[in-house]
Structure 1
Amino acid sequence: MSFYSSPIRLLITLILAVVGGTIFSSFHIPLSWMLGSLTATLVFSRVSSFPLLWPVQLRNVGLLLIGYMLGRSFTKETLLRMVHYLPSMLLLTILILVFSSILAYYVSKVTNINLKSTLTGSIPGGLSQMIVLGEELKGIDLTVVTFIQATRLMAVVFTVPFLASFFSNQERTPMKSILTTFSLHDLFTYIGILLIGLLCAIAGKYFKLPTRFLLGPILITGIFVIAGGTAPHPPDFITDGAQLLMGTYLGLILKPNKLTHKARFSFFATCTAFSLILFSFLSGMLLFLFYDIPITTAFLSVAPGGMAEMAVVAEEVKASLAVVTSFQLFRILFILFLMPPFLRWLFKQAFFKRLEQRTEKQRT
């Protein structure tokens, strides 16, 4: 078997991810298995020419597990409460999008990047979904979109867990107590829900369901719980494994070597990412003040990361998964369904073309 064969590459990637997760876990770093595996694979792939391998299917397994955790947090009471938050969901989503657009405009002014690319890259939607959107629009530099989206995601997953942990005094449930209460009946229920969720995710392809490997188990588990069923809490090694599956994938998607003017653009992309995190924190304070939502839950609800990543953090710090998921899901669905036609319309408008020309003149 060749040293560069797929099984060997996959095994080495897994070993690196486990080592990174173990190191971060030993230092009690928040979200240790996601951040540890992400850091280990990212650093190794930058300093070594060895081609690491982590198929997207493994990431999808992690999404299924996280989707189950999200779905089990929904009850009739929490869903009724979400109706009360709908005006705030809409307002905060629009505010974040406006702020992101302003950041995109200034990044375009000070770099050699066209405004269409920086704007598409700055929209805080899912990484894969925004890349797909970039492929569908004309005049978009996909490398720029990927880099801005990945930089924001990296900033979020490295910053938000520490901020959330700072504001939360909750401790994780010990593994022993979970394992001793996880019965054979719970195991069959857990596996059954995941299998049905997987089937829904596969079927979601034909209905163009966004983030279907996450939404499939969310929908099935949520319906099961609302109907009166009991979804058992998975053991810690399952949730840690889901973190590793996602973190390793995130560590390998960033390809900064393909970007021109890397140092300059990286600086501005990082600045805009942290500016958006700060703006989101201030937005979370509004939820805290007006709805009396705990500050950790409020912050995670509007944090500009992916729904799956924020759900893992919420699980880690014992924030309200139902509230966090509802806000994150609303923003993602809003962006996925409304932003594509809006951007197509916007890019054709005369005032947008004038903005593009203005930024180009200032760069020359």
Structure 2
Amino acid sequence: MNIVQIIFLAILGSLIGYYLQIPIGVLVGSFVFVLIAQLAWLHMNPLPKKVRFYAQVLIGGVAGLNINRDILVQFKDLIIPSILSVILHILFSIGMAYILIKFLRTDRVTAITSIIPAGMSEIIFIAKELETDVQLVIITHLYRVMMIITLIPLLMKFLL
């Protein structure tokens, strides 16, 4: 019965987030609704590995559908900037992870997975696979995403 409640709450939260036009409202809405239910009455354990496997299959399929020939043609022009961006992200992430390790006294793997740039759903799967402090990773990423959603439009308004 709990899984049915989770699906219902996730869909309801997603729809509300979508119709209110909240940035990434589908993800944020489902997350918030399930989080509230989990804290209030569900008290459910994380989903079994088999369910997470199928969720990863679905996410991978959705990502694959977003690639087409035009994107692959453009990719050749982006190889050098992409490699440079990845290197800079890794260096910045290591530096920020070091700060998390010192201030939060967390382990290295949790600190790195808390900081690395990735989508929320993808990083949750990575954190679970690496057996990190998943709750800290989720909170850190949610905070980062919420700050980006809030600050980027303001910065663009003032800079452009």
State whether TM-score is above 0.5.
yes
Alignment-mate amino acid for residue 302 of structure 1: I
Per the TM alignment, residue 274 of structure 1 is displaced from its structure 2 partner at its CA by 2.7
Picking from 196, 200, 211, the partner of 2:24 is 211
Q: Give SS of 2:21's match.
A: coil
Distance 1:259 1:227, change over 3 A: closer
Per the TM alignment, residue 259 of structure 1 is displaced from its structure 2 partner at its CA by 7.4
**Structure whose CA Rg is larger:** 1
Contact 2:13 2:31 in 1 (8 A): no
Further displaced range: 241-250 or 214-223: 214-223
Q: Give SS of 1:304's match.
A: coil
Query: 1:221: which partner in 2?
Result: 34
Picking from 25, 47, 67, the partner of 1:234 is 47
Structure 2 segments unaligned to the other structure (5+ residues): none
Name the structure with the higher helix share: 2
Contact 1:190 1:231 in 2 (8 A): no
Instruction: Output the CA distance in 1 between the equivalents of 2:75 and 2:37.
Output: 48
Picking from 245, 258, 276, the partner of 2:58 is 245
Query: 1:278: which partner in 2?
Result: 91
Query: 1:301: which partner in 2?
Result: 114
Task: State, as a whole percentage, how many aligned pairs show the same letter.
Answer: 24
Per the TM alignment, residue 245 of structure 1 is displaced from its structure 2 partner at its CA by 0.7
Query: 1:287: which partner in 2?
Result: 100
Is 2:129 aligned against 1:316? yes
Per the TM alignment, residue 340 of structure 1 is displaced from its structure 2 partner at its CA by 1.4
Instruction: Output the CA distance in 1 between the equivalents of 2:29 and 2:88.
Output: 33
Per the TM alignment, residue 228 of structure 1 is displaced from its structure 2 partner at its CA by 4.7
| 1:174-193 matches, cutoff 5 A | 188-193=1-6
Higher relative contact order (CA 8 A, sep 6+): 1
Query: 2:153: which partner in 1?
Result: 340
Contact 2:9 2:34 in 1 (8 A): no
Structure 1 segments unaligned to the other structure (5+ residues): 1-187, 348-364
Query: 1:62: which partner in 2?
Result: none
Per the normalisation by structure 2, the TM-score is 0.87
- How many residue pairs get aligned? The number is 160
Q: Give SS of 2:19's match.
A: coil
Per the TM alignment, residue 235 of structure 1 is displaced from its structure 2 partner at its CA by 2.5
Spell out, residue by residue over 1:87-127, the C-alpha distance to the aligned partner (whole angstroms, 9 max, x if none): xxxxxxxxxxxxxxxxxxxxxxxxxxxxxxxxxxxxxxxxx
Instruction: Output the CA distance in 2 between the equivalents of 1:239 and 1:332.
Output: 22
Per the normalisation by structure 1, the TM-score is 0.41
Q: Give SS of 1:227's match.
A: helix
Spell out, residue by residue over 1:271-304, the C-alpha distance to the aligned partner (whole angstroms, 9 max, x if none): 2123212211221111112221111111111111
Is 2:155 aligned against 1:326? no
Distance 1:310 1:261, change over 3 A: closer
